Structure formats: structure tokens, C-alpha cells
Amino acid sequence: MRTLFGTDGIRGRANIYPMTPEVALKVGKVVGLLFSNSNSSKGKVVIGKDTRLSCYMFEAALVAGICSMGADAYLLGPMPTPGISFITKNMRADAGIVISASHNPYWDNGIKIFTSEGLKLDDNLEKRMEELILKGNIEGSPDKIGKAYRIEDAVGRYVVHLKQSFPEGRTLDGLKIVVDCANGATYKVAPMVFGELGADMVKINCEPNGVNINRDCGSTHPEGMVAKVLSEKAHIGLAFDGDGDRVIISDEKGNIIDGDDILAICAVELKREGQLPSNTVVSTIMAGKGLEISLNREGIRLVRTKVGDRFVYEKMLEVGSYLGGEPSGHIIFRRFSETGDGIISALQVLWVMIKYGKPLSDILKERSVRFPKVERSLRVKEKIPFEDTPFASAVIKAEEMSDKINGRVLVRYSGTEMKLRILVEGEDMALVEEIASYIEESARKYLSLEGKP
């Protein structure tokens, strides 16, 4: 069992193990050791980060570790996670490192690593890295010491890449867009992209100060974005998360459009354009039943996998799909990126609006079926296996209850946080709420929860 790497790299509260400078130093050493290019004298490692205060100390520790092993570090500064993936591949680097805790509060942070192809590590490589990090006796040579460089044009390179995902010659002229950057990594890039394409932009939460990232804003708190869409009479609202790999959208009426809706809207378009190989879309076990119905009626197959964008991408490769994602708004368009990119996802939805000249609410109504759904998150002190408690029987009973409303129940522990996730959906909202409440009451009775959700 691994103790450092979770669903998405190493993550935790800054200055508390495992997210300490000491661990980051060891991660840097191991990356410098394992990813050095055998065809050159030095390895090349790209490092990017989001806007949280603790990124500075982790960046310094990683650079020290990398350089101590004779590799060179290339610093991008604040950059969305998909941008770091792109730059890693674009610069022909040997590895890329992201310092971010995505949608988590500022006091958390994380480290995730990309291969030279801009891909997340597979299980075997993560296991090998963890063994070396925990072993802790890696020493460099006094004859091989690397240097650190700052890449000044990284944002510009990435902006060009993003704009190339939008049809050539087309613009966003005439569209009023609310852009919520969550005071995170997209605060420079997103306004540049939408502005250069001609949008009339209303920017909110684009002034990071190190501690306001994701604070009551962005994809996990889109209420402010929705309110601004309505007050500004905008055509669309875009709320990114702290590291920019996901987006939650609002239509002109203030309806929230999540990852399931984005997949439904874009899958239909890709099929019509002949750009949906195998007529297959990949999502996770969290994908709603409505998405499956939406796709099936268009002759598109939905394949589900474990939670986590890495598993989505692996399954996409396996089944030959060019589109996959998660309800959280983390969508992968393989034509343009090897990982989820919130800005690319937003541009694809905007293109559908422009192509048909319709309000987003009309497109949503035409392409996405929605079932009433309730999601709840409960903080836990420890992740006790369900089967070791009567809670397992409670979940089975809840599943039987959901069958009466053509619904489903999904209960699991988060892979990145100390939380229990509850999802219930079905045709009757009152019964969906009742089932979710029953599961929550059972969890509080039989599991080790930590106060209120």
C-alpha cells in the first residue's frame, strides 16, 4: 500500500507530512535521478505552480533537489496544470512538475509529475518513486550540479496553443463572457485567450494574493459567477478551478452546466463533424444516468472507469476515444491535450454556440438529459472500510430504494481528501433527497466522521 501518492499525486496540508519542504526536496532528487535524459549530459525538468502562498517554498525545495542530482530546472511561474503538461512536451523536457492542490483551499498543496509526453505517471512509476523517496538516502555528485532557469515566454506559448483549439478565422465577437479564475492559475491566461479572440469580458476573482485561491469562487463555488452572468446579462459564464484543469459553466439564464453536460454537448458535435472515433465517450462511475441516456439516443456509447482523470485518459486510449471527462468539469479533448483543460473545454462549448447561433440554454435543452441528483461530502477522521461496519448494509438498502425511481447510488471515499462522497440520482427528487439523507444518517452512525460536513 502506497503512503505518499494518492489519486492525483502527493497532496495534503502545507507544512504537515507529507506536504513538507523535506519531502519536496526528496521528490526533486528522485525526479532528477529517474528522468535525466540519457542522450544528454543533463536532465531537463519543467516546474509550474498555482497561486497559493506555499508554492514558493515547495518550488525552492524541488529546484534544490533537481539541481543536486545534476539536472536543470525550468521555472514557469503560475501556470494552469494543462499548460505545464503542454510546455513539458513542447520544450522536449524529460519531466514536468505541478505544484498545486487544484480546487482545495489555500492551506493545502500538492505535487504531481508529468512524463516527457505531458502524461501523468502510471502506477508502477509512482510506486518506484515512492520507494526511493521513502528510502531517503539519494545523494548527488559534486561533479554534477544543475542550474535553474526562468522561462519568460511560457504563458505566450500556451495562449497560442489554446487559441489553436478554436476554429481558425473565427472569433468571440459579440459575446459577453463572465470569467471567474478562482484567484488561481488561470488568472493571466484565461483573460488573454478570451480577450484576444474578441470577447466582451467581465473578469471576477482574477486577483490572487496567495490565500484567496478557491475561496468562495471558481468551479466549486460558481454562485458568484452565476449572479454576475445574470446581473451583466452575459451570454455565458465560465468558472475555473485553482489549477485550471476544469470548468463549470453557466448559461445565460443562470443554469449550471457541469462536466456531464459539457460531454453531452460536445460529443454530439464531434460525432456530427466525424471527429468522434468509435462513437465512444469515456467518463467515470460518477457520471450521471442522464449523460448515458443523452449519448445513447445519439448512437454514442458511454464507457465508465474509476474516478480520476488518469484512469479516464487510459481508458480513452484503450477504446480509441477522443473525448472523456468527469462531472466535475475535467474534460479531455485528445485532439488538443493529454489532460483536462478548462479553457479548451470552454472554447469547445463556445464554438457550438457560435456555429448554431443559439443561446446555450437552448443547446443544453436539445442535447443533455438531466436526472434529479444530490451530492454530499462528509469529513471523516479515518477511512474505515465499509464492509467492516453495518454501513455496508445501509448502502445496499439505499441502492434497493433507488431502483424504484430508476436511479442509482454511489458512495465512496475521496482519493484526494479525507471525505466520504455520496451521490444519489433518480426520477423523483423527493425520494432522491430521502435516500441521500438516509445514507448520511447511517454514515454518521457507523463511520468515523468529523463534525459537520
Residues labelled catalytic: 102
Cβ count near 256 (within 10 Å): 15
Position 145, amino acid:
I
Helix (H) or strand (E) holding 4: none
Cβ count near 175 (within 10 Å): 18
- The answer to whether 205 touches 238, Cβ cutoff 8 Å, is no
CA distance 268 to 261: 11
Backbone angles phi, psi at 179, to 5 degrees: -120, 115
Secondary structure letter of residue 218 according to DSSP: G
Q: Say how many Å lie between the first and final Cα of the chain, rounded.
A: 28
CA distance 124 to 106: 30
The closest of 283, 268, 304, 242 to 81, measured between CA atoms, is: 242
Distances (CA, A) of 419 to 224, 276, 411: 25, 35, 11
C-alpha cell at 381: 477522521
C-alpha cell at 13: 496540508
Residue that the C-alpha cell 497559493 belongs to: 52
C-alpha cell at 243: 489549477
